[in-house]
Each structure stands twice: as structure tokens, then as C-alpha cells.
Amino acid sequence: MSRTEQEKQRTLEQAVESYQERSIGPDFKGASPSLLQGPAECMEKLNKYMRSPRGFLVYIGCPGIGKTYFCSTLVEWAFKNFSTFRYHREIDVLRRLRESMSERHNDYARELEYLMDDDLIMFDDVGSGINPDRANVTSLEWRVEVFFSFLDYRHRSGKPTVITSNFNRQEIYKIYCKRSYSRLFDTRNTIIELFDETEDKRSWENR
């Protein structure tokens, strides 16, 4: 590797680690695709998506299996392959939209579009804080509608979108309803599901 290439690589590594620390958290600094491990079928799906990203990559599994770490490992890939990208936690997006509604007379559509219009979006921890056994969809109406608006926009655009959640398919259907479910689990999307209790819950977080 030439000196110029080495300098470019160092610059990239610094940018990746800076983004990981600032946007995802200090605990996720240094996460790299080379550290990912998992069932062969899942890795094959992931590698295929990374080679030709389009539509949704849906990664759902038990709490503690390393979904946020998984998102952090994709930052290097994002820098290399997309002009613009962003990582969001659902709960942070909701907070920001509430603030926007307060400041701009309940018009959050423009703010949501601004947050979600990048070439790649990583939308982490969907459903955080919701108990699926006690969820009342009516009481969650605004949250459900925001998520649908996000999914519908990204689905229609075809832009690559990574979505993670602790919820299984049945729970997502119950809480977010058929409209969101049908877009998430479109057969053209890439779906990775890890709910087997015999799996190592940190198998993708080999640090």
C-alpha cells in the first residue's frame, strides 16, 4: 500500500470512529464488519445486501443480541458506499419530532423528511419502551403513524434502509399494524431473524 493509500485509510478510520462515538456512542467506537460473526445463512444474506444494497435490511432478534453494535459495524461500509447516511434511534427521532411540532405549530412532515432523506438510513431499536403484551395501538397512534410515514417514504424511494428491533413479526404486526408490516416484510427485502434462545446473544458483538 502506497503512502497516499495509507493516509486515505487512516483518514477513513478516523472518520468512522468519530461518527461511531458521536452518533452511536463511545461503547461502539471501533466496531468493524470484519468483527461480525453469526449463522452462515445470516452472514450470506448480509453480504449479499452489502454488495447490492436496495430496500430494507430488517434485523430483528432478542434483546442483547447486539443490534446497535451491528449498526455501528456498518458505518465503515456506509462511508465507502454512500454520499450521505445517518444513524437514528427511533426514540430520538420521536423526541426531535415532538420538539419540532412544538416549535412549528404541529407541522412535523418537513422535519421527518429532512431526517429520513439520506442515501442510507440506519433506524435502530424500533419499539423501544413498548411492552407488546400491554400495548394499546390507540394510545400509540402518533408513534405508529410516524413509523409508517418513515417506512412508506423509504419503501417508495427504494433507498437502502437498515431497521432493527427486539420485536418479532407477530409483535410488529400487533403494534405497528398491517400497513407497516407489509412494507417491512416485503419479499424483496432482506430479513435477518435471530430469536433462537440457544444462540449466543452476543454472537455479532465479538469485541
**146-187 tens-digit pLDDT:** 999 999 999 999 999 999 999 999 999 999 999 999 999 999
- Contact call for residues 132 and 97 (beta carbons, < 8 A): no
DSSP string, 125-189: EETTT--TTT--TTTTHHHHHHHHHHHHHHHHHT--EEEEES--HHHHHHHHHHHHHHHHT-TTS
Q: Is residue 21 part of a domain?
A: no
Q: Is residue 5 part of a domain?
A: no
**71-99 tens-digit pLDDT:** 999 999 999 999 999 999 999 999 888 88
* Cell numbers at 123, concatenated: 433506524
Q: Is residue 139 part of a domain?
A: yes
Give the CATH number, domain containing residue 101: 3.40.50.300
Q: Is residue 130 part of a domain?
A: yes
Q: Report the domain count for the chain.
A: 1
Please state, as a whole number, how many other Cβ atoms lie within 10 Å of the Cβ of residue 171: 18
C-alpha to C-alpha distance for 44 and 50, rounded to whole angstroms: 10
Task: Tell me the CA distances in angstroms from 65 to 86, 128, 134, 137, one per residue in order.
Answer: 22, 15, 23, 27
Q: Is residue 166 part of a domain?
A: yes
pTM to 2 decimal places: 0.88
Domain interval for residue 49: 31-194
Q: Is residue 19 part of a domain?
A: no
